[in-house]
Amino acid sequence: MLAYLTAHLGYILVTLVLILTVTAILRGMARERKRGGGSSCGGGCGGCPNAPYCHPRAAEDKGPK
């Protein structure tokens, strides 16, 4: 078993680093999402043609007066 680990140490280390990196990215994305962030548009709907689809209630409030 020790011979296998020493023979494949580089592969094992690279795999662990990749797993840790992906895990850190996913955790960061999940935390940002919980805080209300993470939207792809940034939340600024002024002049956005897709605002009625993202925020239908906001579009109703800005309807014709």
Model-wide pTM > 0.85: no
22 in a structural domain = yes
Q: For 2-48, what is each residue's pLDDT tens digit?
A: 999 999 999 999 999 999 999 999 999 888 878 766 556 666 677 77
pLDDT band at 51 (very low <50, low <70, confident <90, very high): confident
4 in a structural domain = yes
Neighbours of 52 (CB within 10 A): 14
Give CA separation, 45 vs 17, 37, 42, 49, 54, in Å.
39, 15, 9, 8, 9
57 in a structural domain = no
Q: What is the pLDDT of residue 2?
A: 92
CA distance 22 to 41: 23
45 in a structural domain = no
CA distance 52 to 17: 42
65 in a structural domain = no
Q: How far apart are the first and last CA of the chain?
A: 76
The whole domain housing 33 covers: 1-38
How many domains does the chain fold into? 1
